[in-house]
Structure 1
Amino acid sequence: MTLTAATATVMAAEVVVVVNPKNAAPQMSSEQAAQYFLGKSTALTPVDQPESSSIRGEFYKKLADKEASQVKAIWSKLVFTGKGTLPKEYGSSADVKKAVAADPNLIGYIEKSAVDSSVKVVATLP
């Protein structure tokens, strides 16, 4: 497999939005999930992946048709005006999954291939 093919495979990974299995959150649309990740709802606390990760850019593009830098600007404004707190950043999908599995109030995103019984998928972003 060439490097280009390997990169394409990684970029084409399905991204899922996950919560703790104890969380009563039902399946949600991209628009509903976006409410948490764009600071419009505080019912769940979003957690993020590193700015440098390819999944972060892919997630925000699929979720809200926004670049990660646009989302960062939205959060910066919320923080500056006292209306929000930046989502905590975790180093990898494994770290996000571990955090979400430990806290019913968190919502995060990981590669679909990383899903196991420790988290519940509430949205899939093809």
Structure 2
Amino acid sequence: MKKIILAGVFSLCSISTFAEVAVIINPSNASNIDADTIKKIYLGKSKSFDNGTKVNPVNQNDNAIADEFNDKVVGKSSNQLNAYWSKLIFTGKGTPPVKLDNDQAVLDFVAANGDAIGYVESGKVNDKVKVVGKF
């Protein structure tokens, strides 16, 4: 019986870790954004949208959605990404995206800022933001 309960708990945990991530921007932003562009933005290699507007990316504090985004979109684990940004900060070559607490904070920030890009669990998206990719 204990094995069945443990298997059920592990199944539920693994399901929540595979949440679909939606990358969002402000609806007023008409930029073309693909997965490669998103990756470059979150690695600090691209500082503006294709229309020339400076990009203002936001991350989430360490949680399951941030881990999914880092893995699926950026191609690095959270630890690798932290090490990457630490090196850039130390050498004066970059500043990481600001971290917000949760999906709602990201939704509110992106809805209020035309230059913002962020990510949330896809089920949390509302009509105040525009989805540019799902991963």
| TM-based fold match above 0.5 | yes
- Structure-2 residue corresponding to 1:75: 85
Letter in 2 for 1:37: Y
Take 1:10 and 1:19, find their aligned partners in 2: how far apart are those partners?
24
> Could you report, residue by residue, the CA deviation over 1:5-33 in whole angstroms, capped at 9, with x for unpaired residues?
3222211211011001111122x332221
Percent sequence identity is 37
Larger-gyration structure (1/2): 2
Unaligned runs of 5+ in 2: 49-54
The match for 2:97 among 65, 87, 93 is 87
Amino acid at match of 1:48: N
CA contact (8 A) 1:16 1:121 kept: yes
TM-score by length of 1: 0.88
The amino acid across from 2:86 in the alignment is: S
- Tell me the equivalent position of 2:34: 29
> TM-score, normalization: structure 2?
0.83
Tell me if structure 2 keeps the 8 A contact 1:19–1:121: yes
C-alpha RMSD of matched pairs (Å): 1.6
Instruction: Encode CA deviations 1:44-96: one digit per residue, 9 max, x unaligned.
Output: 12101112x01111111101321011112222222223332221111101111
Distance of 1:24 and 1:50 partners within structure 2: 27
Distance 1:118 1:6 in 2: 31
Aligned length: 123
1:8 aligns with 2:14: yes
Of residues 117, 120, 126 in structure 2, which corresponds to 1:107? 117
**Residue segments in structure 1 that go unaligned for 5+ positions in a row:** none
